[in-house]
């Protein structure tokens, strides 16, 4: 085996089969044909009623740097690719169009989040990285939003770095969590890179290092006037909380006693008892932070039990998307240029109707009822259609077509923005804070039925009659072709 090459580009962050397909396209001289791919997922993550789209910033970072470095080419040469193909790859840049939802947009099953329209080879080569980025970040932003749904105005802190699937996941997961509604992260690098507020308390090891809570809290308060003491190293109610109170009383106004963190035991019982003790001592404004394997389910239970918890520190189950570790978004070819230079729609058939792709270049609209400012569903049209807001709109389920409704007095809000045009970035990324705010505003448009974490209603994602007919026609054509074999 040869020595490893240096890691100076992300372009080989792709599956081998993409390069193999690109080589065949190149040899067959169809590599520059125009191709259109849609990126979408089919099944709602965590059984949630909505997903929160995240990942566009990193996709842009990746596409801006999309070029094969000298070491990439050297490596591919070692793998046996032809020189002519390597010469072609050397010059390759992303030259296509990208339309996408904005980060923080609410997204649902079977609707294109993003559309790539580029040369066939380029569009193929970028598939893996784009899916890799969006699948993870959208999953984490959605998991975070689920937690936000149950915590309301409480403070949510992301503590997952030590458990994340490696370092990139920790920092991009911290960013996705913030988009989904978290207030802060403990990862300082994520704070530095993205401007996310950083927050934290101290560990059991700090108390263990001094071997007694009184000294540890005193020492901590001396350097960090703003302090939250971890009270469960030895015995929360007999030792931790009384010691925190004692130190806070002794230091008085010289410190800002924010409160305590409890990290084990019965968090409902302990927080209620601790609250009483803090209040009795006059520290009514202090906060109780809880941590320890929390997720939205445990938090909901704790709230139902009347836990007196103001802030939640959440790590493992958020950053690893513990109950559903992958989103399952796919990237499907929906149109390809034929030998006459015309764009022809393509389809992927499956025995399960949900898995049949929707052919053609399309647009996605959110249909908002003007009377109550609530969303009636999303409506996918062919590229040149726009729902006529002056007329009533017939919305029907694309598989169970008898489920239908007429919508009047609506606004059809288009969800895709131009991100790249002919390889040029034409989109300005909003500040992260605005993306978080965008999620909040988008959630106001949804009826509560779609927002409940358990068994939400299925949000309608419908096809326009033209889009639906086009799909049916394509299915017929493919069937005919198969039957004639
Ligand atoms: N009152 C409660 N209701 C429901 N779940 C709770 C309650 N209190 C704690 N939990 C959760 O129960 C689980 C307890 O886990 P575990 O047994 O590992 O904790 P522990 O033994 O108290 O602490 P340690 O992490 O030190 O082992 C955690 O996920 C915690 O968040
Ligand atoms: O539980 P999570 O949601 O992942 O949150 C992060 C955890 O990391 C820290 O302890 P660590 O797990 O390192 O050790 P401990 O469980 O023994 O306290 C912290 O005290 C939390 O419990
Ligand atoms: O600051 C904290 O309390 C913290 C940070 C990371 C993991 N657990 C706790």
Average pLDDT over residues 86-108: 98
Average pLDDT over residues 367-388: 97
- Ligand 1 neighbours by CB, cut-off 6 Å: 264-268, 292-294, 298, 301-302, 305
Average pLDDT over residues 186-195: 98
Q: Is the CB of 293 under 6 A from ligand 2?
A: yes
The predicted structure's pLDDT at residue 1: 64
- Strand duo 410-414 + 330-337: pairing: unpaired
Listed in sequence order, the DSSP H helices in 105-253 are 120-125, 127-151, 167-180, 188-194, 204-210, 213-223, 241-251
Q: Is the CB of 200 under 6 A from ligand 3?
A: yes
Report which of 390, 381, 342, 336 is spatially closest to residue 362, judged by C-alpha positions: 381
pLDDT tens digits, one per residue of 234-249: 999 999 999 999 999 9
The predicted structure's pLDDT at residue 2: 63
Are 28 and 435 in contact, with CB atoms under 8 Å apart?
no
For the chain, what is the mean pLDDT?
Answer: 97
Residue 425 pLDDT > 90: yes
Q: How confident is the model at residue 139 (pLDDT cuts 50, 70, 90)?
A: very high
Lowest mean pLDDT segment, chosen from 1-10, 143-152, 407-416: 1-10
CA distance 458 to 185: 32
pLDDT tens digits, one per residue of 308-330: 999 999 999 999 999 999 999 99
Partners of 262 in beta bridges: 290
Partners of 111 in beta bridges: none
- Percent of the chain residues past pLDDT 90, beyond the cut: 97
Q: How confident is the model at residue 350 (pLDDT cuts 50, 70, 90)?
A: confident
Q: Is the CB of 262 under 6 A from ligand 2?
A: no
Are 412 and 340 in contact, with CB atoms under 8 Å apart?
no
DSSP-derived letter for residue 347 is -
Q: How many CA atoms lie within 13 A of 30 on its CB side?
A: 13
The predicted structure's pLDDT at residue 485: 85
Residue 104 pLDDT > 80: yes
- Ligand nearest to the CA of residue 318, numbered in listed order: 2
The predicted structure's pLDDT at residue 43: 96
pTM here is: 0.97
CA distance 262 to 1: 51
- Ligand nearest to the CA of residue 291, numbered in listed order: 2
Residue 354 pLDDT > 90: no
Q: How confident is the model at residue 352 (pLDDT cuts 50, 70, 90)?
A: confident
CA distance 261 to 271: 9
Residue 194 pLDDT > 90: yes
Q: How confident is the model at residue 183 (pLDDT cuts 50, 70, 90)?
A: very high
Q: Chain-centre distance of CA 415, in angstroms?
A: 16
Average pLDDT over residues 461-468: 97
Q: In ligand 2, which atom is closest to the CA atom of 230? A: 20
Q: Report which secondary-structure segment, H or E, holds 324.
A: none
């Amino acid at each position: 085996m040869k020595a490893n090459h240096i890691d100076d580009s992300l372009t080989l962050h792709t599956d081998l089969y993409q390069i193999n397909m690109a080589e065949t396209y190149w040899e067959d001289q169809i590599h520059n044909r125009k191709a259109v791919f849609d990126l979408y997922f089919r099944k709602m993550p965590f059984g949630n009623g909505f997903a929160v789209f995240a990942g566009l910033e990193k996709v842009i970072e990746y596409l801006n740097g999309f070029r094969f470095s000298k070491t990439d080419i050297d490596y591919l040469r070692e793998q046996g690719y032809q020189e002519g193909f390597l010469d072609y790859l050397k010059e390759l840049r992303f030259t296509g169009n990208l339309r996408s939802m904005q980060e923080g947009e609410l997204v649902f099953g079977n609707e294109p989040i993003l559309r790539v329209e580029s040369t066939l080879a380029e569009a193929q080569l970028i598939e893996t990285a784009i899916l890799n980025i969006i699948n993870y970040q959208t999953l984490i932003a959605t998991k975070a939003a689920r937690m936000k749904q149950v915590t309301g105005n409480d403070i949510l802190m992301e503590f997952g770095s030590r458990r994340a699937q490696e370092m990139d996941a920790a920092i991009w997961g911290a960013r996705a969590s913030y988009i989904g509604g978290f207030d802060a992260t403990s990862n300082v690098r994520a704070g530095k890179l993205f401007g996310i507020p950083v927050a934290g308390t101290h560990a059991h090891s700090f108390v263990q290092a001094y071997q007694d809570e009184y000294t540890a809290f005193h020492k901590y308060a001396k350097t960090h006037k703003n302090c939250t003491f971890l009270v469960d190293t030895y015995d929360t109610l007999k030792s931790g909380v009384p010691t925190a109170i004692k130190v806070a009383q002794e230091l008085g106004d010289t410190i800002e006693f924010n409160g305590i963190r409890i990290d084990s035991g019965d968090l409902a019982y302990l927080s209620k008892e601790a609250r009483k003790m803090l209040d009795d001592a006059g520290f009514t404004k202090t906060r109780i932070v809880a941590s320890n394997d929390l997720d939205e389910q445990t938090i909901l239970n704790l709230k139902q039990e009347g836990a007196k918890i103001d802030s939640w520190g959440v790590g493992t189950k958020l950053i690893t998307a513990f109950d559903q570790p992958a989103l399952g978004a796919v990237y499907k070819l929906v149109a390809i240029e034929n030998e006459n230079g015309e764009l022809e729609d393509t389809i992927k058939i499956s025995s399960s109707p949900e898995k049949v792709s929707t052919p053609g270049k399309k647009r996605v609209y959110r249909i908002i009822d003007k009377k109550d400012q609530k969303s009636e569903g999303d409506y996918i049209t062919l590229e040149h259609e726009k729902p006529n807001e002056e007329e009533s709109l017939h919305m029907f389920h694309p598989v169970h077509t008898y489920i239908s409704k007429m919508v009047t007095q609506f606004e059809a809000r288009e969800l895709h923005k131009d991100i790249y045009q002919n390889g040029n970035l034409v989109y300005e990324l909003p500040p992260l804070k605005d993306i978080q705010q965008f999620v909040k505003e988008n959630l106001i448009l949804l009826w509560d039925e779609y927002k409940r974490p358990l068994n939400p209603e299925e949000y309608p994602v419908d096809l326009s009659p033209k889009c639906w007919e086009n799909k049916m026609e394509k299915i017929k054509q493919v069937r005919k072709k198969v039957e004639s074999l």
